[in-house]
Each structure stands twice: as C-alpha cells, then as structure tokens.
C-alpha cells in the first residue's frame, strides 16, 4: 500500500503522521516545503550560505529538521517557505509574510497535484494547501484524507465576535484576521477542500463537533488524539504554595483574558498561591495591569526549559475558547501536573474531570475561579491527581497515536478498495 502525503510545513504532530505511515511501510512519498535533512544537498548548501551571511538564522533552518525517514522518501518544494521565512525573520513585515504564505500554499498545492500517479493507493493532505491535489486525486479515483488541525473556521469567528462584544477592550483591530474578505476567501477554499475529501482526520471530539455543526458529514470524520510526550514525572508532594502555570501564546483564543479575571477575583496572597504566565502576548497590556499577588510573566522560552518548568508547578491552567488540541496539556500531564482546561480544548478528551484533571465549560470565569480555589483548598489532593495524569500520558504515547492513525487510514483505504488485500504483516 502506497500513500502520498503532502504538507508544505511539518510541525511535530504532522511529522508523527508521516512516521506513522513509514513505520508501517505505507508511505510512498512525503511532499513538503523546505526540510533540513543531512542527505539533502540543497538544504546543506543553503545552510552553508546562510552561515556565511547570517549565522543566527541557521537555527531557524534547523527547526525544520526531519531526520526520521530517509530522504529518498521526501520530495521538496522549498522556495516558498524560504521566502516566507525571509519576509518574517529578515524583513519583519507581517503583511508581506502573510501574502507570501498564501502564495506558497497555492503554489505548493499545484506542485503536489502534479506528483500523483496511478500506482498510489491514497492521498493525505493538509488544509488550505490541498484543493488542486484533492481534485487530481478524485480524477484518479484515489481515496483522500484531509488533515484538519483545528476547529472549523465558523466556530472561532463566532467566538471572536462574542468576545469582542463582551470585552470591548480586546484588540478588536485584529478582527481582519478572522472576519474580513481575505479571511472569507481563504475559508471558502477550506470549505471546498472539506467537501472534496473522502475522510477528514482530526485530533479531537471538539474539532469534530465544530465540523459537524458546520455541515460536514460526521461519518467521514476520523478522530485520532495526538500523543503524549515520554513521561518524566516530578516528585509528587503536597505543595507549600500552589503555583498555577500557563504556557503558550497569551491570546483571545487561549482565553487568557478570562484567566486574568479569575486571578483578580480569587485575590490570593503570595504565600498561598502564585501565577506563572509564559509565552508571547497578543492581548492588550491593560488587561493584565495590576494583577494581584505573586504573578510572574515572561516571554517564550526554549521548549526544554518549559518542560522543566512543568515540574516546578502545581497545576497547569488553560481556559481555551477554541483549541483544536493544545499539546501543552499533554506535556503538563506527562510531567505529573493536574490540568484545568475547558471542553473547547481537544486535549480534554484525555481528561476525566476530578480524576486526572479538570474540564470546565468554556467562557465561564466563575467556574474557573471555583476550580482554582478548590485546588488551593485541597492542595493535599493534587499529588494523586498528578499521578493519575502521568498514567494517562503513559498509556497514550506518540507511538500509540501513530499506530492508531496508520490502522485507521489502512482500514478506510481497504473499504474504499474492496479488492485490495492487506499484507497481514502490516496488520
């Protein structure tokens, strides 16, 4: 069985998707943008040139390293990504970067469509960079899998409008990102892709719910939760002071303005509890001015350092309004942290409320206040909840995600092609 995968980028979860197929000998080709691979002469040459011109940018290139499969299985269309990175990191023009991103997605899609051939058994693509490829696959009668990483666009557009109306102090000038003719054009493209795809791969029941509410046939939506990192639990003991940690972009989507409000209303003294906020801030400064008690705010930190910070906290809190998965939740669980999150966060699929964490209704500050108070008043119970969080993470690793993803896709391909006889060794 030969599956063609096309994705112009390759973040951690999409890389695991490619690995899943390669490990089961199901991968034909992985078509992508720029990739840093030791066997790729082009990327080696580009790194040498960049090293001589701007050494600090080499690290940015190395962030696109993907050494988990042989380069003979990879085809690259790198120039769009290189131009996008240059506009972002070297020129620093957000509008130009955004336009290059769109151009890159479309050019990559048309290039990927030309890579299809009749010996392939299926095609797996990424949202917004898939329209031409899906059409080409349909012409060849190939089953298609469409990867939708986050909630349907109509869901977040409504969230954005509601929050803007409820909290006028939010930076509504950024509404063009979600509520504009340009956004409408891009979302119309996504809708056409959803209609063409035979199957839609999502990370959570939350994402599936937003898609079905928007009219996507639930029978073609396949839910495979992302995996947890290898567990390295912290020593579990009742904390003297309960430290609440949040990591990631401090944004409307993540509900950080709700966390600010909850913290103000709890008003705990510095000896009782502390709040740590780590990540790039996109909310107005005024929203977090005057936060009481022990509050520590800092910009993004290296991932390895963040993994250590989990071990020093008592509770991870993420009151997201719309989050397709939120890998920070599984990272925290793998370190033994109880997590407070919402039903609008995909990783909540792995949490049973009150047992290995806490799942709250989204956009309810009072529920967040009461849950954080409970953690302080019952801090002696946090170690047991943390231990159960670790066990959950241990029982759903990235290897489990890869196995289920490959088996799910293989099963659907066999249903699509009844005459295909699966190799029992692959099963």
pLDDT digits 0-9 by tens, 405-414:
999 999 999 9
Q: What are the beta bridge partners of residue 3?
A: 27, 122
Indicate whether 172 pLDDT > 70: no
Indicate whether 329 pLDDT > 80: yes
Whether the Cβ atoms of residue 238 and residue 270 lie closer than 8 Å to each other: no
Whether the Cβ atoms of residue 194 and residue 202 lie closer than 8 Å to each other: no
Structure tokens at 184: 């409408």
Q: Which helix (H) or strand (E) holds 306?
A: helix 303-312
Residue ranges and CATH numbers for the domains of the chain are 3-227+398-416 (3.40.50), 242-394 (3.40.50.2000)
Is 402 or 48 the better-scoring residue by pLDDT? 402
Q: Give the per-residue pLDDT at 180.
A: 72
Which single residue is written with the structure tokens 């930190």?
301
Q: In angstroms, rounded to a whole number, what is the distance separating the alpha carbons of residues 238 and 331?
A: 21
Q: Please, which pLDDT band fits residue 176 given cuts at 50, 70 and 90?
A: very low
Which single residue is written with the structure tokens 């309810």?
364
* Single pTM value for the model: 0.89
Q: In angstroms, rounded to a whole number, what is the distance separating the alpha carbons of residues 235 and 314?
A: 11
Q: Please, which pLDDT band fits residue 84 given cuts at 50, 70 and 90?
A: confident
Tens of pLDDT, residue by residue over 261-309, are: 999 999 889 999 999 999 988 888 888 888 899 999 998 888 899 999 9
Q: Please, which pLDDT band fits residue 426 given cuts at 50, 70 and 90?
A: very low
Structure tokens at 379: 């801090």
Q: In angstroms, rounded to a whole number, what is the distance separating the alpha carbons of residues 384 and 30?
A: 43
Q: In angstroms, rounded to a whole number, what is the distance separating the alpha carbons of residues 166 and 183?
A: 22
Residues 6+ apart with CB under 8 A from 349: 204, 205, 206, 223, 225
Residues 6+ apart with CB under 8 A from 119: 2, 28
């Amino acid at each position: 069985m030969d599956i063609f995968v096309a994705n112009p980028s390759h973040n951690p979860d999409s890389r695991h998707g490619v690995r899943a197929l390669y490990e089961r000998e199901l991968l034909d080709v992985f078509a992508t943008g720029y990739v840093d691979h030791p066997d790729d002469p082009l990327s080696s040459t580009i790194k040498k040139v960049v090293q001589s011109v701007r050494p600090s940018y080499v690290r940015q290139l190395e962030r696109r390293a993907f050494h988990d499969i042989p380069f003979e299985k990879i085809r690259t269309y790198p120039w769009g990504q290189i131009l996008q990175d240059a506009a972002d990191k070297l020129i620093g023009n957000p509008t130009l970067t955004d336009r290059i991103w769109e151009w890159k997605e479309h050019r990559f899609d048309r290039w990927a469509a030309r890579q299809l051939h009749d010996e392939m058994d299926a095609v797996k693509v990424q949202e917004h960079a898939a329209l031409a490829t899906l059409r080409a696959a349909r012409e060849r009668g190939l089953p298609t899998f469409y990867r939708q990483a986050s909630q349907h666009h109509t869901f977040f557009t409504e969230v954005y409008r509601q929050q803007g109306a409820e909290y006028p102090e939010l930076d509504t000038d950024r509404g063009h990102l979600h509520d504009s003719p340009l956004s409408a054009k891009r979302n119309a493209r996504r809708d056409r892709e959803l209609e063409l795809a035979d199957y839609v791969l999502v990370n959570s029941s939350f994402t599936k719910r937003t898609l079905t509410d928007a009219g996507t046939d639930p029978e073609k939506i396949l839910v495979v939760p992302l995996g947890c990192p290898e567990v390295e639990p912290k020593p579990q003991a009742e904390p003297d002071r309960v430290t609440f940690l949040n990591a990631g972009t401090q944004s409307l989507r993540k509900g950080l303005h709700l966390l600010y409000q909850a913290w103000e209303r709890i008003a705990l003294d510095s000896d009782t509890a502390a709040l740590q906020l780590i990540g790039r801030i996109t909310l107005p400064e005024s929203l977090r001015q005057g936060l009481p008690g022990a509050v520590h705010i800092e910009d993004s930190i290296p991932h390895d350092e963040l993994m250590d910070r989990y071990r020093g906290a008592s509770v991870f809190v993420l009151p997201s309004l719309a989050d397709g998965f939120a890998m920070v939740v599984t990272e925290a669980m793998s370190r033994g942290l109880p997590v407070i999150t919402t039903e609008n966060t995909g990783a909540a699929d792995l949490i049973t409320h009150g047992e290995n964490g806490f799942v709250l209704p989204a956009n309810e500050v009072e529920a967040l206040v009461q849950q954080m108070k409970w953690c302080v008043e019952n801090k002696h119970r946090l170690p047991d909840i943390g231990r159960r969080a670790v066990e959950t993470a241990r029982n759903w690793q990235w290897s489990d995600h890869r196995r289920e993803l490959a088996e799910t896709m293989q099963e659907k391909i066999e249903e699509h092609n009844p005459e295909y006889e699966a190799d029992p060794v692959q099963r």
